[in-house]
Amino acid sequence: MLIGARHPGMKLPSKGTDYVALSRHAVGQFLRRRHRQMAVLIPAEDKAGHTNTVAGFSAACGEVSGAEMRVIRHDGTPAGD
């Protein structure tokens, strides 16, 4: 059993947050309020939870005509590179 999020395609059972569902829900809330331009700010490191969050945002935005999203990766430093 894997504790935490899985990368897409992994078949191991896992226990953790469903970041795809969580981010789809968040985007749905913004879309219901007529927001059409959104950004997701995630750490620059490539972890499964980050990948799944972006996938959920993308899927939800793709279901609504005119909805756009931008992914901003932050390295955690004050300079923000």
Residue 71, pLDDT score: 96
pTM metric for this prediction: 0.81
Per-residue pLDDT of the chain (81 residues; tens, 9 = 90+): 778 787 778 888 878 888 899 999 999 999 999 999 999 999 998 888 899 999 999 999 999 999 999 999 998 888 876
Q: What is the pLDDT of residue 46?
A: 83
Alpha helices (H) in 3-80, listed in sequence order? 19-32, 48-62
Contacts of the segment 75-80: beta carbons below 8 A, 24+ positions apart? 75/43, 75/44, 76/43, 76/44
The identity of residue 29, as a single letter, is Q
Domains parsed from the chain with CATH numbers: 14-74 (3.40.50.2300)
Residues 6+ apart with CB under 8 A from 19: 5, 49, 52, 53, 56
